[in-house]
Amino acid sequence: MAELDRPQAEVAVPDDWTYASAPESRDIVHIADRYGHFVGGEWLDAAETYETIAPRDEEPLAAVGQGSEADVGRAVAAARDAYADGWSSLPGSERAKYLFRIARLLQERSREFAVLESLNGGKPIKESRDVDLPLAAAHFFYYAGWADKLEYAFPNRRPRPVGVAGQIIPWNFPLLMLAWKVAPALACGNTVVLKPAETTPLTALLFCDVLRQAELPAGVVNIVTGDGRTGAALVVNEEVDKVAFTGSTEVGKEIQRRLAGTGKKLTLELGGKAANIVFDDAALDQAVEGIVNGIYFNQGHVCCAGSRLFVQESIYEPLVAKLERRLATLRVGDPLDKNTDVGAINSAAQLEKIEELVASGVEEGAQIYQPPCILPEKGYWFAPTVFTNVAQSYRIAQEEIFGPVLSVLTFRTPEEAVEKANNTPYGLSAGVWTEKGSRILWMAQRLRAGVVWANTFNRFDPSSPFGGYKESGFGREGGRHGLEPYLDFEESETFGG
């Protein structure tokens, strides 16, 4: 007893358990003051430029070319020459060598690319380091493997390249979207003109240095930076044979209208409003992690984000309580800090859009929860947000917010979950959380979504096709399916011939 009564020695107990900052060094990457366009293996000076910034603090990073119609024309001509000068007729095994080299170089330089991606786009370094870069390299590895096996991928169909591909990518996964587009195009023997998003051009411009290191023949990949006008010029250029676009449904529709009747091939990967559906037999803690990953990963700037959470009524209260507790542990802040979970919003325009939609949710009667967090004063920031008491008709349940904002709705039966989940113009992805395999299959057959994840969310693999239904677009990227948009086929005259 005497032991227990003895006064404890005074031990200093810290009253602040927050993580010390662990910033990644930005010195690892060199950013030039000014960039032109990468055309025919050379840097073409840009007559007009704009400033690209870091969304974390609005620091100007570089002057970047605003591509004109003439710049696009030069890039397309360079791609056409490279196509005719040998790239399209190079044996697949030779094309594969270049793709393997690019993949390995991306791995070797991954830290540099990850820092630049986080700096220019605002995403947490742990995501660009652990997701964007490994996946980008994996896409090049994967499609390198297909380059000399196209005859086997499409037996009896005599695949041949399409020609010059015009590719337009968004700002949420800049390098990864580049890899999704460039790797299959090159594997199939096409040449490319790519336009990165206006706010995130820097990793695409650094990628030009990887192309130089890989000794890719001049003109096979050309990069023209600029805003939507540059993209529009690329779409309508008559020498472009195939257009691949990822971005908003609005611009996708505009591109489809423009290309109607031209005979150009087109794939569109557009917006989404995914349902993440949790049944009462799901492992709740695991589901909470999946929900958080589904909507707060990359600040919710994800076309397949699980932005509508459907919870079976009987577990609504415990699940929402767990979710709110978990939200309070998310660290929002400097994208270059290795502890950061939620980084900066990509641009002032996107922040404005998120704020407007969130205000509409409050006005329409939903209940908002945001964990206490101190947001940096400079830059573009938005706290992780959960809306409960949401009706299906509210704008926050209908429109793509593309930010860290979750709407929680409820259901009673699997039939009701399917009906509510499918009640959207989009159809890109969905998630199902249940311990019953039979229910997963039953749901997957009925959900109108290109991808259905079960007991996980936001899982990507180069061998798995990705794409949408309805207003989420058409065509598939990834997997063997992702080769098809970059090929024309001559059907064999004789069966098996």
Q: Catalytic site residues? A: 269, 303
Question: What would the x/- binding string for ligand NDP be over residues 190 to 219, using CB under 6 A?
Answer: -----x-xx---------------------
Nearer to ligand NDP, 198 or 337 (CB): 198
Nearer to ligand NDP, 140 or 171 (CB): 171
Residue showing the smallest CB distance to ligand NDP in the complex = 231
Cβ 246 to ligand NDP shortest distance, Å: 5
Cβ 218 to ligand NDP shortest distance, Å: 24
Cβ 243 to ligand NDP shortest distance, Å: 9
Residue type, 152: Y
Query: Of 110, 191, 350, 424, which one interacts with ligand NDP (CB under 6 A)?
Result: 350
Nearer to ligand NDP, 190 or 350 (CB): 350
Contact present, 172 and 122 (Cβ < 8 Å):
no
Query: Of 192, 194, 270, 320, which one interacts with ligand NDP (CB under 6 A)?
Result: 270
Cβ 305 to ligand NDP shortest distance, Å: 10
Nearer to ligand NDP, 206 or 214 (CB): 206
* 271 near ligand NDP, rule: CB under 6 A: yes
Cβ 403 to ligand NDP shortest distance, Å: 8
Nearer to ligand NDP, 247 or 485 (CB): 247
Give the span between the Cα atoms of 406 and 319, in whole angstroms.
14
Residues 124-183 that bind ligand NDP (CB under 6 A): 168-172
Q: Shortest CA distance to 380 belongs to which of 20, 123, 198, 177?
A: 123
Residues 376-435 that bind ligand NDP (CB under 6 A): 400, 402
Cβ 172 to ligand NDP shortest distance, Å: 5
* 361 near ligand NDP, rule: CB under 6 A: no
Nearer to ligand NDP, 254 or 488 (CB): 254
Nearer to ligand NDP, 414 or 467 (CB): 467
Residue type, 162: V
Cβ 18 to ligand NDP shortest distance, Å: 32
Residues 217-256 that bind ligand NDP (CB under 6 A): 227-228, 231-232, 235, 246-248, 251, 254-255
Residues 438-477 that bind ligand NDP (CB under 6 A): none
Residue-wise burial string across 359-379, b where 16 or more C-beta atoms lie within 10 A, e elsewhere: eebeebebeebbbeeeeeeeb
Cβ 331 to ligand NDP shortest distance, Å: 24
Question: What would the x/- binding string for ligand NDP be over residues 296 to 325, using CB under 6 A?
Answer: -------x----------------------
Cβ 170 to ligand NDP shortest distance, Å: 3
Q: Shortest CA distance to 203 belongs to which of 302, 298, 64?
A: 64
Give the span between the Cα atoms of 327 and 372, in whole angstroms.
9
Structure tokens at 227: 């805003």
Structure tokens at 300: 């919710």
Give the span between the Cα atoms of 205 and 200, in whole angstroms.
10
Nearer to ligand NDP, 334 or 400 (CB): 400
Residue type, 266: L
CA 431-435-441 angle, 5° bins: 55
Question: What would the x/- binding string for ligand NDP be over residues 41 to 60, using CB under 6 A?
Answer: --------------------
User: In DSSP terms, which residues pair with 295 in a beta bridge?
Assistant: none
Number of amino acids touching ligand NDP (CB under 6 A): 26
* 353 near ligand NDP, rule: CB under 6 A: yes
Cβ 195 to ligand NDP shortest distance, Å: 6
Give the span between the Cα atoms of 298 and 127, in whole angstroms.
7
Nearer to ligand NDP, 146 or 402 (CB): 402
Nearer to ligand NDP, 157 or 353 (CB): 353
Greatest CA separation for the chain: 98
Q: What are phi and psi of 321, to 5 degrees?
A: -65, -45
Binding positions for ligand NDP, rule: CB under 6 A: 168-172, 195, 197-198, 227-228, 231-232, 235, 246-248, 251, 254-255, 270-271, 303, 350, 353, 400, 402
